[in-house]
């Protein structure tokens, strides 16, 4: 039997607030460069001032990202199947546990058996993260751009935790 390969996919989410987070947007970037970005309807009245001032103005930058929340499960599942090669295991790399929790919620708390949570906060190099945003001019607090930045700044075992 052949060894299963694996694929790291970096995920980031934006959400309404820290106490009772509701998904606003979700971005995923694979090691091979494939990307997925969605924006879903959310309760604007639950957004914190920070989210209203920093996150909401960044929505709508990516074409065709807006989808119904009911369609998100199938949209994400099909994308994961598309980027997965053969029987690869997928490690969903998140720098914040809420990213994984919101992903699971969207997946009706039934993520595919071949998708695993991989906490990576301590493996993200802060200097590279800063450099990414500075070099690209892409703002922080946009789920797709932050997923790209995390993929770029990921250095396993670097010992340089995100503050």
Q: What is the pLDDT of residues 94-105, one digit of tens each?
A: 999 999 999 999
Say if 61 falls within a structural domain. Answer: yes
Tokens of 29: 């970037």
pLDDT at 161: 46
| DSSP-assigned letter for residue 98 | H
Kindly give the parts of the chain with pLDDT less than 70.
Answer: 1-3, 158-163
In this structure, are strands 23-30 and 6-15 parallel, antiparallel, or unpaired? antiparallel
Tell me the residue range of the domain where 99 lies: 6-153
Say if 42 falls within a structural domain. Answer: yes
Say if 1 falls within a structural domain. Answer: no
How far, in whole angstroms, is CA 82 from its chain's centroid?
17
pLDDT at 28: 98
Say if 128 falls within a structural domain. Answer: yes
Say if 159 falls within a structural domain. Answer: no
Say if 162 falls within a structural domain. Answer: no
Whole-Å CA distances, 49 to 17, 52, 59, 96: 9, 5, 16, 20
pLDDT at 86: 92
Say if 149 falls within a structural domain. Answer: yes
Could you tell me the CATH number of the domain that includes residue 37?
3.30.420.10
Count of domains for the chain: 1
Whole-Å CA distances, 133 to 44, 89, 108, 111: 27, 29, 33, 30
Say if 45 falls within a structural domain. Answer: yes
pLDDT at 157: 79
């Amino acid at each position: 039997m052949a060894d299963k390969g694996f694929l790291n996919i970096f995920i980031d989410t934006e959400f309404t607030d820290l106490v009772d987070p509701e998904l606003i947007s979700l971005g995923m970037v694979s090691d091979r460069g494939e990307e997925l970005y969605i924006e879903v309807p959310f309760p604007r009245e639950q957004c914190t001032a920070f989210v209203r001032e920093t996150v909401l103005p960044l929505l709508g930058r990516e074409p065709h990202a807006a989808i119904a929340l009911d369609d998100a499960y199938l949209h994400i599942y099909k994308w994961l199947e598309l980027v997965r090669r053969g029987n690869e295991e997928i490690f969903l790399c998140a720098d914040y546990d809420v990213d994984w929790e919101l992903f699971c919620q969207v997946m009706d708390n039934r993520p595919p058996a071949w998708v695993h949570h991989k906490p990576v906060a301590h493996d993200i190099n802060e200097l590279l993260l800063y450099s990414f945003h500075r070099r690209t001019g892409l703002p922080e607090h946009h789920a797709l751009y932050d997923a790209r930045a995390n993929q770029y700044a990921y250095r396993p075992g670097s010992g340089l935790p995100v503050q």
